[in-house]
Amino acid sequence: MIVYVGTYTGPGKAEGIGVFRMDQATGALTHLQTLSGVDNPSFLALHPNGRSLYAANESGDADGGPGISAFAVDQETHTLMPLNRQPAHGTSPCYVSLDSAGRSVLLANYGNGTVSVYPVQEDGSLDEASHVVQHVGGGSTRRQAGPHAHSIVMDPAGKYVLSADLGCDRIFVYLLQDGRLSPNDVPYAQISSGAGPRHIAFHPNGRFVFVNGEIDSTVSAFAYDAERGALQVVDTRSTLPAGFSGNNSTAQVAVHPNGRFVYVSNRGHHSIAIFAIDPDQGTLRPLGHESTQGKTPRNFNLDPSGTFLLAANQDSGTIVSFRIDGQTGQLAATGQVTEIPAPVCVLFSPTS
């Protein structure tokens, strides 16, 4: 199993994108490549065919401004080779994904709240942006003076695109047609005031959506109408244990492949919060927390089989491996720890 790791680069930080092989028996990572010369490749996405990878260049100071980069994936070694780069059409690009057919790459720009669409060329490189949409709105906290698009994903049916905007407390919903985003008939879902929605995770059955509130340390469950692209909140839970009084923000949300559990990372409490999912209603039941054995778990990911969770501790420079109990949802550290400066994204290659 191949694992790609996005990082923050610069003096005292990482050199670029890390490529590792994960032992599927132990969860240990073996280093294969560090692709240097890529500025702040903070979030990664893999093409469905596994032949190209895309990275959001968050600051872009080293190569002409914020952008998005494309890389070819060697099918034998799984190492990366640069293809091209396009401007982000926004500031602080923080999230990249693809449509279900692999025809378009979608980019969320946190700084000014825009989302951009890029057609994918035959060789995996990116054409110029075919559409850029500016979010409008704000929220109730200091960080919500304006829009801050924090993620953008296509639904499992391949019909609607959802974008979580931290600044607006909204999940915007679009139709993607011919490389352009048009507002849905139900243009957005409102989340709790001051929540600061960050990332979006779909249930495997496509009926439920889970969104973590970065600012208020919550996770919200939504019923999802795949025909209309409409969201209705059914539950909201704190990601923190009772009595915790320190500073905290959430970063990542992910659903187990078996559809029974959802996980959220806490930066401050330095943990993964674990919840059981009601199979009929999508509501959540807290199951506890597991320390990530490091500081600031910016990102984590579950391997496609649901056997391992890899937690990227940004401020302690480690990726820690956990074995997942598929019956209880609980995590157990494997003892496998990989050192890599400022890791901020973990991406499994399901084709490896």
Give me the pLDDT at residue 26, please: 97
Give me the pLDDT at residue 65, please: 81
Give me the pLDDT at residue 59, please: 76
Average pLDDT over residues 46-54: 97
Residue 240 lies in a domain: yes
Give me the pLDDT at residue 176, please: 96
- What's the total number of domains in the chain? 1
Average pLDDT over residues 277-282: 98
CA–CA separation, 132 vs 125, rounded Å? 18
Q: Which of the four pLDDT bands, split at 50, 70 and 90, describes residue 271?
A: very high
Give me the pLDDT at residue 328, please: 98
pTM greater than 0.85: yes
Q: Which of the four pLDDT bands, split at 50, 70 and 90, describes residue 333?
A: very high
Token readout for 330 is: 């609980």
Average pLDDT over residues 309-326: 98
Q: Containing domain of residue 205, as a range?
A: 92-342
Query: Using one digit for the tens of pLDDT, what is the confidence trace for 339-352?
Result: 999 999 999 998 76
At residue 61, does pLDDT exceed 90? no
Residue 25 lies in a domain: no
Residue 164 lies in a domain: yes
Query: Using one digit for the tens of pLDDT, what is the confidence trace for 83-99?
Result: 999 999 999 999 999 99
Query: Using one digit for the tens of pLDDT, what is the confidence trace for 135-183?
Result: 999 999 999 999 999 999 999 999 999 999 999 999 999 999 999 999 9
Which residue is it, tokens 């649901």?
A: 306
Closest Cα to residue 151, out of 166, 135, 129? 166
At residue 63, does pLDDT exceed 70? no
CA–CA separation, 115 vs 90, rounded Å? 8
Residue 179 lies in a domain: yes
Average pLDDT over residues 113-130: 98
Which residue is it, tokens 């600061």?
A: 196
At residue 64, does pLDDT exceed 80? no
Exposed/middle/buried for residue 244 (C-beta within 10 Å: 0-12, 13-18, 19+)? middle
Average pLDDT over residues 42-61: 91
CA–CA separation, 195 vs 213, rounded Å? 5
Average pLDDT over residues 211-216: 98
CA–CA separation, 261 vs 253, rounded Å? 11
Residue 98 lies in a domain: yes
Average pLDDT over residues 207-215: 98
Residue 19 lies in a domain: no
Q: Which of the four pLDDT bands, split at 50, 70 and 90, describes residue 60?
A: low
Residue 33 lies in a domain: no
Residue 51 lies in a domain: no
**Mean pLDDT, rounded, of the chain:** 96
Give the CATH number for residue 170: 2.130.10.10
